[in-house]
Structure 1
Amino acid sequence: MRHVGLKARMAIAGSMLFAFYAVAAVVVMGVFDWPLGLVLLGSVAFVGVQYKIGKWMALRSVGAEDLPEDQYSDIHRRVESLSRDMGIDKPRLMIARMGVPNAFAVGRKGAGTVVVSEELLRVLEPDEVEGVLAHELAHIRNRDVVMMVLGQGVASIVAIVAQWVVLLTGDNDLADLFLAIVVGQITQMLVMVFVFAISRYREYVADSDAAEEIGSGEPLARALEKISRSAERSQDTEIDSQVNALCIFGDGGGLARLFATHPPMEKRIERLRG
C-alpha cells in the first residue's frame, strides 16, 4: 500500500472537515428551520459545486491557457511518458504568467490539469522541468490535490455559515457586520489548519515520488533551488493565497509554522539529495 502516512493524514483531516461541515449543516437547519432531507441534499450538492468552482477559479485566477503541443512537444511527450509509468491518464497541460517560476495541479486521476508558469519554463533546464512535472503528476495520483480543493471549499462554507449566524442573531448593526467578518476569518483559519497539515506532508511525498519516477532527486532539487532564488528576487507574484497552497513553491502562508502551506525549502532539497 503506497503512502500509508499520507492516506492516514487525509482520512483524519477528511473526518475533521466532515465534522465541521456537519455542524454547519445542523446550524443552517436550526436557523432556517429547513427539513433534514433538504439540508442533506443541499450539503452534498454544495460540496460538488464548490469542488468544480474551486478547480475553475484556480485556473482562472492565473489566466491559464492550454499549452500548445506544437510549440512544447517535448513537454507533452515527457508528461505522456510519466503519466503512463505512473498509471494515470495524461492530464491537461496549461501555461500561465504567474510572475514567478511555479507550477500546480488540480483535478483527479482521470481528469487532472497541470499548470506551469512561463517563468518556470524560461528558468529551468529540461530535466529540471521533468522533475517538476513528475512532482505535480504525483499529486494527482495521490489524490491529495482533491483534498486540498475540497478542504478550501469546506472552510469557506463553514466561515460563511458562521458569519450568517452572527448577523442573524445580532442587532443587524455595523458592529455585528464587523464581528461577523472577524468570526468568519477566524473560523476559516481554524478549519484550514487541518488542510495546511496535509499540504506540508504531501509536498514531501510528491518530491519523493518524483525522484523515484525520474530516477534521481537531483533535477528536482536543482529546480527547487532556482525557483526559490527567483521567487526571492521577484515581488510581482500573480498567485492568490488559495492557489499558492496548491503550488510546488509557496511563501509559507502564515505567521507561524502551524499555518504554513509548504515545508521549508531547504529541508525538501536536503531530502531529495539525501
Structure 2
Amino acid sequence: MAIVGSILFAFYAVAAVVAMAAFGTGVLPIVLVGSVLLVGIQYKVGKWAALRSVGAEDLDENRYPEIHRSVDRICQDMNLEKPSIKIAQMGVPNAFAVGRRGNGTVVISEELIQILEHDELEGVIAHELAHIDNRDVVLMVLGQGIASIVAIVAQYVVLLTGDNELADFFLALVVGQIVQMFVMLFVLAISRYREYVADADAARSIGRGDPLARALEKISQGNQRASDSKVDEKVNALCIFGDGKGIARFLSTHPPTEKRIARLRN
C-alpha cells in the first residue's frame, strides 16, 4: 500500500508541477484545495449514488439474524466497527461495499441470499468487510480523483498554450481523455490486485477459501443475466464480481474469476 500510495502521489505531484510551470507558483493553493474538494465530493456523492441506484434498505436483524451474527463475528475478528448492512434487489446475485472504517456500508442482494449456502454467503460478506477494513474504497476514490486532476491540468495546459481556440478546445478534450485513461489503467490494476487481497483476508477470517470459491462460481453463473441487473457501471466496480475478456481485462476492476477461485482453493 505504501508503494501504491507513492505512485499515486507521483502522478499528483507531476500534475502539480506542470500546473505551476504553466500558471505560476500562485496556482498551488488552488490545486491543493481543489484536489481535496474534488476527492471529497467524489467520495460523498459516490457513496450516496451507489446506495440510491440499487434502492438499498437496512437488513432487518429480526428477519436475517444469522447474517448479522456472521457480520458481528467477522468484524470482531478484523477488529472492525460493524458497518451498516443493507439489502437490495439488484436483478443478479452480488454484493458491494462503500465507505471506510468507522463509516462503512455493505449491500447484499436478495438474489445472493437466495442462491448461496450460509458459509458461502459468509465468505462474500467477509470479502466485502475486508475491503472496508483495508480502506480499498477510499483508495479507489483517491485514484479516480487523481486521474481527474491530472486530466484537468493537461486540458488547461493545452488550452492556454495553443493558438487556435476551437482546435485547441477539441485537442484539450482528447489529451485529457488520453491522460486520464493512462492513469486509470494503473488505478484499475490496483483494483484487481486488491480483489485478491480481499479474497485472501476473507479466507483467513472464515478459516478456509473454498466457501468463497463456491460462492464466486454461483455468482458468475448468476451474472450471465447481467442485462437484467439494476447495477450500473459505476456500482459494478464496487461489487464482488466483475470480469473482463481479452483486452478488456486491462479495463476491468476485477481479475478473472477462475484465477480468484484457483487461488482460494490453493
Work out the CA distance in 1 between the residues paired with 2:159 and 2:230.
Answer: 33
Give the TM-score of the pair, scaled to structure 2.
0.86
Alignment pair present for 1:82 and 2:74 = yes
Alignment pair present for 1:61 and 2:84 = no
Alignment pair present for 1:172 and 2:165 = yes
> Aligned in 2, Cα 1:116/1:247: closer, same or farther, shift over 3 Å?
same
Written as runs of structure 1 = structure 2, the 5 A alignment for 1:73-222 is: 73-170=65-162, 171-173=164-166, 175-222=167-214
Kindly indicate whether the alpha-carbon contact (under 8 Å) linking 2:95 and 2:106 is maintained by their aligned counterparts in 1.
yes
Kindly indicate whether the alpha-carbon contact (under 8 Å) linking 1:152 and 1:242 is maintained by their aligned counterparts in 2.
no
Work out the CA distance in 1 between the residues paired with 2:45 and 2:245.
Answer: 22
Match of 1:18 in 2: 9
Structure 1, residues 222-270: CA drift from partner, whole Å, max 9, x if none? 1100100111243223333333222211132883443332121111112
Which is further off, 59-68 or 207-216? 59-68
Work out the CA distance in 2 between the residues paired with 1:216 and 1:44.
Answer: 40
CA apart distance, 1:136: 0.7
Which is further off, 40-49 or 256-265? 40-49
> Aligned in 2, Cα 1:73/1:35: closer, same or farther, shift over 3 Å?
same
> Aligned in 2, Cα 1:35/1:222: closer, same or farther, shift over 3 Å?
closer
Structure 1, residues 157-180: CA drift from partner, whole Å, max 9, x if none? 32233334444444332x544433
Cα RMSD for the two superposed structures: 2.5
SS in 2 for 1:235: helix
- The one-letter code matched in structure 1 to 2:11 is F
> Aligned in 2, Cα 1:116/1:161: closer, same or farther, shift over 3 Å?
farther
Kindly indicate whether the alpha-carbon contact (under 8 Å) linking 1:241 and 1:253 is maintained by their aligned counterparts in 2.
no
> Aligned in 2, Cα 1:141/1:185: closer, same or farther, shift over 3 Å?
same
Alignment pair present for 1:41 and 2:33 = yes
Work out the CA distance in 1 between the residues paired with 2:136 and 2:48.
Answer: 17
Which is further off, 209-218 or 29-38? 29-38
Aligned residues with identical type, % of pairs: 70
Match of 2:250 in 1: 258
Unaligned 5+ segments in structure 2 are none
Kindly indicate whether the alpha-carbon contact (under 8 Å) linking 1:54 and 1:153 is maintained by their aligned counterparts in 2.
no
**When the two structures are aligned, how many residues end up with a matched partner?**
264
Unaligned 5+ segments in structure 1 are 1-9
CA apart distance, 1:95: 2.2
Alignment pair present for 1:234 and 2:234 = no
Give the TM-score of the pair, scaled to structure 1.
0.84
CA apart distance, 1:152: 1.6
Kindly indicate whether the alpha-carbon contact (under 8 Å) linking 1:21 and 1:158 is maintained by their aligned counterparts in 2.
yes
Kindly indicate whether the alpha-carbon contact (under 8 Å) linking 2:16 and 2:28 is maintained by their aligned counterparts in 1.
no
Work out the CA distance in 1 between the residues paired with 2:246 and 2:172.
Answer: 22
